[in-house]
Amino acid sequence: MSSVGFISLSNRKAKRMPGNNYNCSPLTPRSRLERLLRERELRKSFKHIQPTEEARDGNKDGEQSFGDSCIGDNEFSGIHKEEEVPETNADRSQRQDERPSKQRLLVVANRLPVSAVRESVESFHLKISVGGLVSALLGVKEFDTRWIGWAGVNVPDDIGQRALTKALAEMRCIPVFLDEEIVNQYYNGYCNNILWPLFHYLGLPQEDRLATTRTFQSQFDAYKKANQMFADVVNEHYEEGDVVWCHDYHLMFLPKYLKKYNDKMKVGWFLHTPFPSSEIHRTLPSRTDLLRSVLAADLVGFHTYDYARHFVSACTRILGLEGTPDGVEDQGKLTRVAAFPIGIDSDRFIQALELPEVQDHMKELKERFADRKVMLGVDRLDMIKGIPQKILAFEKFLEENSHWRDKVVLLQIAVPTRTDVPEYQKLTCQVHEIVGRINGRFGTLTAVPIHHLDRSLEFHELCALYAVTDVALVTSLRDGMNLVSYEFVACQASKKGVLILSEFAGAAQSLGAGAILVNPWNITEVAASIGYALEMPADEREKRHQFNFKHVKTHTSQEWAATFVSELNDTIVEAQLRTRQVPPLLPNKVAIDCYSKSNNRLIILGFNSTLTEAVDALGRGGQIKELEPKLHPNLIEPLKKLSDDPQTTIVVLSGSDRAVLDKNFSEFNMWLAAENGMFLRRTSSEWMTTMPENLNMDWVDSVKHVFEYFTERTPRSHFELRETSIVWNYKYADVEFGRIQARDLLQHLWTGPISNASLDVVQGSRSVEVRAVGVSKGAAIDRILGEIVHNKGMKEPIDYVLCIGHFLAKDEDVYKFFEPELPSEPTPVARAMLSKSNSYRPSSLPKITTTKTGSKAPKYKKQRSLSNIERREIDQWKPPCRDRISLNEGSSVLDLKGDNYFSCVVGRKRSSARYLLKTSDDVVNLINDLAE
Ligand SMILES: O=P(O)(O)OC[C@H]1O[C@H](O[C@H]2O[C@H](CO)[C@@H](O)[C@H](O)[C@H]2O)[C@H](O)[C@@H](O)[C@@H]1O
Ligand SMILES: O=c1ccn([C@@H]2O[C@H](COP(=O)(O)OP(=O)(O)O)[C@@H](O)[C@H]2O)c(=O)[nH]1
């Protein structure tokens, strides 16, 4: 099995984990895909030797008692008996014995694979829990696995808790004790009444009274509390190197709580249900908290690519984070998101069919329904399973095909589930009512068309039933995967029956080709499909079956788990590599200390997303009045203080035009560099420019047309026309739509107006900017610095530089400017300026620019639309001349003593800046601290 979608296509190098001994091939595969294929081969060959191991473990012949009422010795795979009670950290320190050769895996799920029923003070009866999650995880044998979860029983007393802990320990299960109130609020309430229906597109409960809101809040609190209780137990049993695999919607807070305990823990989270469209998730009052908590995991998995896509979408639209092909990025931290379609332990089902008890059941069933075709439904009695719709479709089929009435029977196994939730109670009544009506309508004295069972079946009975079935009907309205469809296929090697499968089950993506896919809401279509399936010719059945059988045989639960854990191990290594590329957080204290100890400081500040307030991810802040960037109100005071300090020079270096900077900064005593340094003024003086006279701006009108076109078609996007550039911005628009539009816009530009022009197209995270070629903040900084030195008549070198910005990649050259080492491709200016230490001698080298094809292009034309006054001011300003601005002959303007340089990127992970400030709020705090 390979993971699909978000990660499988990437070609990143996956490093082996130290101590990761389940995969120790000497040949390191070059790509992720290669590795996955290799591992799959390894697992296959491992399988050939597996029977011996299973025999040793007593798990041979697939005779495990899934569905047995009592677990005896060695009764099911995946859970191995252990002699002792699981250790705590304290016990562990005394343990000196050998470590297991398999990797330790802590599987944390709401429900343990066994449910307990209390028989006396110290005795419990253990029973396998029913459900797809349990079935799938019981097939996982490659790890040294321990389960942590709720045993489905309230045990308030110590004696009972000790006894149950001991009994479960034999099954390598560790209980989390939830009291009745928590179970009611967390499990019945928040999990099954809110998250479950919402994730299956059934919406939130309607709030018709204030009390409901209160209930919602208390259920959410209980949810968090329960998650914390799970985290406590995991933490108690965690050993370094363990993989912690959290399961399902019950435990969305668990990754966050675990990482709080220990951020080195390897944490994966897998959702067994669908993850709905972000528009559905958006309705949930706790939408943000839940997403953020899940994102604390290292790897987040879903059954299908669609669910993964929805999750990433929710993170980008609701949290405003960046979705990448690998997952979701937040401040350089990547949470990998991928699809890992689950499977079943197919051999267990296939082998079970040979067992005498299964053969007996089959014989019995065949005799019982000798003269009828058997149709089968196996579901938990849950509204997502579409049981009423299925039965109604069957009724319609009988109604329209009278010749089939005495020749077909529908066996519906409806396993009671979540019986304390009122919705489920209502459903039970509804189903009974429909079944009664149809049996009354089409039944005879000796036979009824529907056999409805409100109970679960024992494993062998279930296998037999699957094997004798002619047509299986899976009509889920939504279903994460649906393992019943897999199990049915696995048991059909001889009969080759037909699977009718809902297109809304995750399984439709894997078994769709061999099944008859239906829309369960379309009763007419399902009824017609029943007829088609019952009369399908043998060769078509054979072909369809073979296709699905192959899939079920090869995509097993073992592979699913092995792939997930292997990906998780890799993700950790890759994250470590990536983290090394992210600048460390700015050490505020050091920056402030150095500031206070220096005498001639230079502070260079970007404006947009550096000195402005953060944008609401949901775009709610994007009112028209706010489209223009505005100085963060909490910066007014401290900036005033700093800019009035004679030992400090502040430059706001922005892409914005002069008017915007004037509006926000006129009242401060500082320098303003607009349009990436093309215009410069001290707030006490007029604007000057370094714009070359013959700057070619002919392209502007045609680019403007393209930008206008896209602005009209992208709600809440806007564009700004500046003197030397034009910027289309979609930060308030729907991010995903904005990105698609941006791609389209670029295509329009490249094939149209800019195909031959000499200009730069710069892509931001939410913008596209077209600017005159060669304009960048780094290219401008030498001239700015020269002018400042000259204008201030500086006698002493600048001994401290703080440069903060959320700059476009192209403008990051400003960070490099002050670094002692030369950038890899030094600009002529930088070459001339930087000597071996970070000392600087400003110069006024002629500006030579390069076109996008790399050719030299000194072909500037007249600039566009400058007023006469502006021209005069501009003419008065000459670029700084080296002779005029050097401090003394030969002495440097910069003397940063190596470390007195603090370049900080704001909210971007890959950067050539030395340090990171996560948000503009951090900038606000820093500036305030400096001013203090
Ligand atoms: O524990 P319960 O509340 O009684 O519910 C049983 C389980 O139901 C859900 O199963 C899902 O997982 C299956 C395997 O991945 C998948 O095939 C199916 O489509 C899902 O509905 C639930 O997600 C589990 O947590 C429950 O334990
Ligand atoms: O009487 C029954 C009926 C069902 N199952 C098991 O319950 C699981 C149902 O999983 P599925 O993924 O189809 O749906 P879920 O119930 O998890 O939503 C399957 O493994 C079935 O074999 C069972 O053990 N006994």
Give the tens place of pLDDT for each residue, 455-476.
999 999 999 999 999 999 999 9
pLDDT at 50: 42
In this predicted structure, which of 216-220, 457-461, 701-705, 748-752 has the lowest mean pLDDT? 748-752
> From the alpha carbon of 455, which atom of ligand 2 is closest?
1
Confidence of residue 270 (pLDDT cuts 50, 70, 90): very high
Q: Is the dihedral of CA 786, 790, 796, 800 positive or negative?
A: negative
Which residue puts its alpha carbon closest to atom 23 of ligand 2?
Answer: 130
Rounded to whole angstroms, how far apart are CA atoms 120 and 104? 33
List the alpha helices (DSSP H) in 522-632.
Answer: 523-534, 538-554, 557-581, 588-597
The percent of residues above 70 in pLDDT, for the chain, comes to 78
Of residues 582 and 866, more confidence is placed in 582
- CA of 71 from ligand 2 middle (Å) equals 18
Task: Please give the distance, rounded to the nearest whole angstrom, from the Cα atom of residue 332 to the centre of ligand 2.
Answer: 40
DSSP codes of every residue in 32-47: HHHHHHHHHHHHHHHH
Which residue's CA is the closest to the ligand 1 atom numbered 4?
A: 417
pLDDT number for residue 12: 26
**What residues line ligand 2, using a CB cutoff of 6 Å?**
66-67, 130-133, 135, 378, 380, 413, 415, 456-457, 462, 481-484, 487
Nearest ligand atom owner, CA of 380 = 2
Euclidean distance between CA atoms 874 and 860, whole angstroms: 17
Atom of ligand 2 nearest to the CA of 487: 22
In one-letter notation, the amino acid at residue 642 is L
pLDDT of residue 208: 61
Q: With 50 as the cut, is the pLDDT of residue 861 above it?
A: no
At residue 620 the predicted structure's pLDDT band, cuts being 50, 70 and 90, is low
Q: Name the band, by pLDDT with cuts 50, 70 and 90, for residue 130.
A: low
pLDDT at residue 889, as a whole number = 53
Q: What is the DSSP string of 757-823?
A: --EEEEE-SSEEEEEETT--HHHHHHHHHHHHHHHHT--SPB-EEEEEE---GGGGHHHHHTSSSPP
Q: How far is the CA of 272 from the centre of ligand 1 (A)?
A: 6
Is residue 294 within 8 A of residue 255, CB to CB? The reply is yes
Q: Which residue out of 65, 462, 560 has the highest number of ligand 2 atoms within 8 Å of its CB and is therefore the one to mutate? A: 462
Average pLDDT, the chain: 81
Q: Whose CA is nearest to atom 10 of ligand 2?
A: 132
Cα–Cα dist 159/157, whole Å: 6
Atom of ligand 2 nearest to the CA of 380: 16
CB 893 within 8 A of CB 785: yes
CA distance 303 to 342: 6
pLDDT at 617: 60
Query: What atom in ligand 2 is closest to the CA of residue 135?
Result: 20
Mean pLDDT value of segment 272-279:
96
Q: Is the pLDDT of residue 504 over 70?
A: yes
pLDDT at res. 3: 39
Ligand 2 centroid from CA 160, angstroms: 30
* Averaged pLDDT, 196-218: 81
| pLDDT higher than threshold 70 for residue 820 | no
Distance CA 639, CA 49 (A): 71
Tell me if residue 390 falls in helix, strand or coil.
Answer: helix
Which residue shows structure tokens 């896209």? 710
CA of 302, nearest ligand number: 1
Q: Are 141 and 172 in contact (CB under 8 A)?
A: no
Mean pLDDT of 211-233: 90
**pLDDT above 90: residue 336:** yes
Closest ligand 2 atom number to CA of residue 461: 1
Work out the end-to-end distance of the chain between its first and last CA atoms, rounded to an integer number of angstroms: 59
Q: Whose CA is nearest to atom 24 of ligand 2?
A: 130
For residue 186, the SS3 value is helix
**Which ligand is closest to the CA of 67, given by its number?**
2
Band of pLDDT at residue 282, cut at 50, 70 and 90? very high
Around 408, how many Cα atoms within 13 Å sit in the side-chain half-sphere?
22
Whether the per-residue pLDDT at 859 is higher than 70: the answer is no
Coil vs helix vs strand at 471: strand
When comparing pLDDT for 113 and 534, which is higher?
Answer: 534
**Mutation choice for ligand 1 from 273, 384, 415, CB with most ligand atoms inside 8 A:** 273
For ligand 2, the distance from its centroid to the CA atom of residue 380, given in whole angstroms, is 7
Give the Å distance between the CA of 484 and the centre of ligand 2.
Answer: 6
- CA–CA–CA angle 139, 141, 144 (5° rounding): 135
Burial class (CB in 10 A: 0-12, 13-18, 19+), 905: buried
Mutation to probe ligand 2, out of 272, 384, 484 (largest number of atoms < 8 A from CB): 484
pLDDT higher than threshold 50 for residue 591:
yes
Own/partner pairs, 682-689, CB within 8 angstroms, 24+ separation: 682/791, 686/873, 687/658, 687/870, 687/873, 687/874, 688/787, 688/873, 688/874, 688/876, 688/877, 689/870, 689/873, 689/874, 689/877
- Residue 909's pLDDT band, with cuts at 50, 70 and 90, is confident
Q: Measuring from each residue's beta carbon to the nearest atom of ligand 1, which residues come in under 6 Å? A: 111, 131-133, 136, 248, 272-273, 342, 417-418, 479-483
The Cα–Cα gap between 572 and 268 comes to 10
| Per-residue pLDDT reduced to its tens digit, 545-556 | 999 999 999 999
State the pLDDT at residue 882.
32
Structure tokens at 266: 């390897």
* DSSP class per residue in 276-335: --HHHHTT-TTHHHHHHHHHTSSEEEESSHHHHHHHHHHHHHHH-PEEETTEEEETTEEE
401: Cα separation from own chain's centroid: 49
378 Cα to the center of ligand 2, angstroms: 7
Quick one: average pLDDT of 387-391? 98
User: CA 899 from chain center: how many Å?
Assistant: 38
* Better pLDDT: 911 or 524: 524
What string of H, E and C letters represents the secondary structure of 187-229? HHHHHHHHHHHHHCCCCCCCCCCHHHHHHHHHHHHHHHHHHHH
For residue 366, pLDDT beyond 50? yes
CB contact at 8 A, 229 and 178 = yes
Contacts of 420 (CB under 8 A, 6+ apart): 184, 188
Question: Lowest-pLDDT range, 7-16, 234-243, 809-818?
Answer: 7-16
Among the atoms of ligand 2, which is closest to the Cα of residue 479?
18
The dihedral region occupied by 506, where left means phi > 0, alpha psi between -120 and 50, and beta the remainder, is alpha
Which helix (H) or strand (E) segment holds residue 488: the answer is helix 483-490
The pLDDT assigned to 453 comes to: 96
> What is the Cα–Cα distance from 452 to 431, expressed in whole angstroms?
9
Note the pLDDT tens digit of each residue in 227-260.
999 999 999 999 999 999 999 999 999 999 999 9
Residue with the smallest CA separation from ligand 2 atom 1 is 456
Mean pLDDT of 290-315: 96
Q: What is the mean pLDDT of residues 335-361?
A: 96
Is residue 150's pLDDT more than 80?
A: yes
Q: Is 106 helix (H, G, I), strand (E, B) or coil?
A: strand
478 CA to centre of ligand 1 in angstroms: 12
Residue nearest to atom 7 of ligand 2 (CA): 131
For the chain, what is the radius of gyration of the CA atoms?
A: 34
User: Could you give phi then psi for residue 41, rounded to 5 degrees?
Assistant: -60, -45
Ligand nearest, relative to CA of residue 474? 2
Give the number of the atom of ligand 2 that is nearest the alpha carbon of residue 484.
13
pLDDT computed for residue 11 by the predictor:
27
* Tens-digit pLDDT profile for residues 37-62: 666 566 555 554 443 333 333 333 33
DSSP state letters, 509-536: HHHTTTSEEE-TT-HHHHHHHHHHHHT-
Judged against a pLDDT cut of 50, whether residue 658 lies above it is answered with yes
Q: Give the confidence band of 35 by pLDDT, cuts at 50, 70, 90.
A: low
How far is the C-alpha of 585 from the C-alpha of 602, rounded, in Å?
21
Q: What local confidence, expressed as pLDDT, does residue 872 receive? A: 36
Residue 894 DSSP symbol: B
Q: Judge whether 475 and 390 are in contact, CB under 8 Å.
A: yes
Atom of ligand 2 nearest to the CA of 66: 24
* Euclidean distance between CA atoms 658 and 869, whole angstroms: 14
Of 77, 273, 303, 378, the residue with max ligand 2 atoms within 8 A of its CB, to mutate for a pocket test, comes to 378
CA distance 834 to 894: 10
More confident residue, 561 or 54: 561
Determine which residue's CA is closest to atom 19 belonging to ligand 2: 132
Query: Ligand 1, from 1, 107, 133, 481: best to mutate by most atoms within 8 Å of Cβ?
Result: 133
Which is the closest atom of ligand 1 to the Cα of 342?
15
Distance 311 CA to ligand 2 centre (A): 26
Ligand 2 center from residue 38 Cα (angstroms): 32
Query: What's the confidence (pLDDT) of residue 455?
Result: 94
Segment holding 473, helix H or strand E: strand 471-474
Q: How far is the CA of 198 from the centre of ligand 2 (A)?
A: 21
Q: What digits encode the pLDDT tens for the residues 706-744?
A: 999 899 889 889 999 988 899 999 988 888 889 889 998
Q: Which of 57-61, 384-388, 654-658 has the lowest mean pLDDT?
A: 57-61
Of ligand 1's atoms, which has the minimum distance to the CA of residue 482? 17
Whole-number pLDDT of residue 685: 92
Cβ-contact 887, 792 below 8 angstroms: no
Tell me the longest C-alpha to C-alpha distance in the chain. Answer: 115
Tell how far the Cα of 712 is from the centroid of ligand 2, in angstroms. 51
Q: What percent of the chain has pLDDT over 90?
A: 59
Pocket test for ligand 2, best of 111, 133, 135, 195 (most atoms within 8 A of CB): 135
Give the C-alpha separation, 1 to 37, whole Å.
Answer: 8
Asked whether the predicted pLDDT for residue 97 surpasses 90, the reply is no
Question: How far, in Å, is the centroid of ligand 2 from the Cα of 299?
Answer: 26
Q: What is the reported pLDDT for 614?
A: 74
Contact 730, 717 (CB under 8 A): yes
Q: How far is the CA of 281 from the centre of ligand 1 (A)?
A: 19
- How does residue 90 score in pLDDT terms, banded at 50, 70 and 90? very low
Tell me which residue has its CA closest to atom 1 in ligand 1: 111
Which residue has the CA at smallest separation from atom 13 of ligand 1? 132
* Atom in ligand 2 nearest the alpha carbon of residue 133: 17
